[in-house]
Amino acid sequence: MFKKILIANRGEIALRVIHACRELGIATVAVHSTADSDSLHVTYADEGICIGPPQSTDSYLNLNAVISAAEITGADAVHPGYGFLAEKAHFAEVLAECGLSWIGPKPETIRLMGDKAKARQMAIKAGVPVLMGSEEPLDDLTEALELASRVGYPVILKAAAGGGGRGMRIVQHEEEFEHQYSTAANEATAAFGDGSIYLEKYLVEPRHIEFQIFGDRYGNVIHLGERECSIQRRHQKLLEESPSPALTPALRAEMGAAAVQLAKAVGYENAGTIEFLLDVDDSFYFMEMNTRIQVEHPVTEMVMGVDLVKMQIQVAQGEALKIEGGFVPRGHAIECRVNAEDPENFRPSPGKIITFHPPGGPGVRVDTHAYEHYVIPPFYDSMIAKLIVHDADRDAAIARMSRALDHFVIEGVKTSIPLHRGILQDPAFQAGQVSTRFMERYLAKKPDGAN
């Protein structure tokens, strides 16, 4: 059993992990940059240790500094949160060499699923549907052109080392293929040091639906339902909900079984997410797997009545998943990501928070590291809070979220709260008619951003 966990992260997720550790009776070590000395994750942890200057490459991404902090403080395990070192297979390997436990999937699984072309191959092998496209990375223009015409335009070129929207190129017509192909390969080499690209049929207006999966070291794998994540802008999610208004119980069962099948095929341990694209005709296709706890995990926690971070720690300690009785979804949950940014142009709005009154009441949860007089440093992500609500059904959850947003007072910095208010009032959103194109359409209708 773990006695002390080092949290290799900052912000709300570092606090979230501290809450889980405290409830399990496990001591915590916070690491922080010099810009985060006054951060709540440092205050709430049992110990805090500075690991470097503000730039994350010199602190939160500096694996030597993080591992030294774990050794100095006598931690026996590391929780990476999301972002930073969460999907760095090498970091997990070095921890093992130092005799430290890693709260996450096996390094080889992280590496395998981090290669998006290999992940696609694994999905094919596991019998999980993928879009028409290449089974191997493309290595020759003529061959790629031939494949594209067989698949039919539009097609999408994706970097194997990309993911989450990085390193993608859409090709509408054959005439632009050669240009897009060489641009994609060059960009992938420049950005990732790996020019491998693969090709898929491009779906014009899908939904992004992801399944929460969980595995233990005894081969048990379960899914905990899905999250509807179609409301994004520039591949940054803004609002997520569970369940998806698009899924029938039958489709959920089918997609959930596919997700579990793939996770089992790769021997998955700990928390993970299988992302699907859902087409307008209800056909679904594997897109990517994320080998970490995600920002939007609370909507699953609210609907399923579980603590995913505690579960992560328990399975990393060698406990078996508790699956007797199964997991029964209840009601509907929505999460709004509150970013310190200008809702008109989405530019970051760091600085000092003058007033901070989070909402409360039944079915309202606020995951945040912010507080009155907190100074948001300019070096990191602009997300300062996650507002999550739960209620009996989708309409009730929307009403509860609208009320909670109205009662969330933040002064001193600009936030995305007005944008969320606007989204919740949108007729298409209220009808559950969302797709990856939703924000594009919404912002075209409301050029002022919201209100």
CB neighbourhood size of 105 (10 A): 27
Site for ligand MV4 (CB under 6 A): how many residues? 16
Query: Rule CB under 6 A: is residue 273 a binding residue for ligand MV4?
Result: no
What contacts 399, CB < 8 A, 6 or more positions away? Answer: 391
Rounded least distance, CB 344 to ligand MV4, Å? 22
Query: Rule CB under 6 A: is residue 152 a binding residue for ligand MV4?
Result: no
Binding span for ligand MV4 by CB under 6 A among 89-97, 200-208, 376-384, 443-451: 200-208
- State which residue, 91 or 284, has the beta carbon closest to ligand MV4: 284
SS3 274: strand
Q: Which of residues 95-134 bind ligand MV4 (CB under 6 A)?
A: 131
Which residue among 3, 150, 173, 235 contacts ligand MV4 (CB under 6 A)? 235
Binding span for ligand MV4 by CB under 6 A among 134-142, 196-204, 215-223, 248-256: 196-204
Query: Rule CB under 6 A: is residue 150 a binding residue for ligand MV4?
Result: no
* Residue type, position 392, single letter: A
- State which residue, 68 or 236, has the beta carbon closest to ligand MV4: 236
Query: Rule CB under 6 A: is residue 389 a binding residue for ligand MV4?
Result: no
* Residue type, position 174, single letter: E
CA angle 165, 15, 230 (to 5 degrees): 25
Which residue among 33, 109, 196, 232 contacts ligand MV4 (CB under 6 A)? 232
What contacts 270, CB < 8 A, 6 or more positions away? Answer: 103, 104, 105, 214, 215, 312, 315, 316
- State which residue, 216 or 228, has the beta carbon closest to ligand MV4: 228
Peptide bond into 378 cis (omega under 30): no
Between β-strands 77-79 and 101-102, what pairing exists: parallel, antiparallel or unpaired? parallel
What contacts 110, CB < 8 A, 6 or more positions away? Answer: 87, 88, 89, 92, 104, 291
Output the furthest CA–CA distance in the chain (Å, rounded). Answer: 62
Helix (DSSP H) and strand (DSSP E) numbers for the chain = 15, 20
Rounded least distance, CB 177 to ligand MV4, Å? 15
Query: Rule CB under 6 A: is residue 165 a binding residue for ligand MV4?
Result: yes
Binding span for ligand MV4 by CB under 6 A among 35-43, 80-88, 201-209, 390-398: 201-209
Which residue among 314, 436, 442, 450 contacts ligand MV4 (CB under 6 A)? 436
Angle between helices 89-97 and 63-73 (to 10 degrees): 30
Q: Give the binding site for ligand MV4 (CB under 6 A).
A: 131, 156, 164-165, 200-203, 206, 208, 232, 235, 277, 287-288, 436
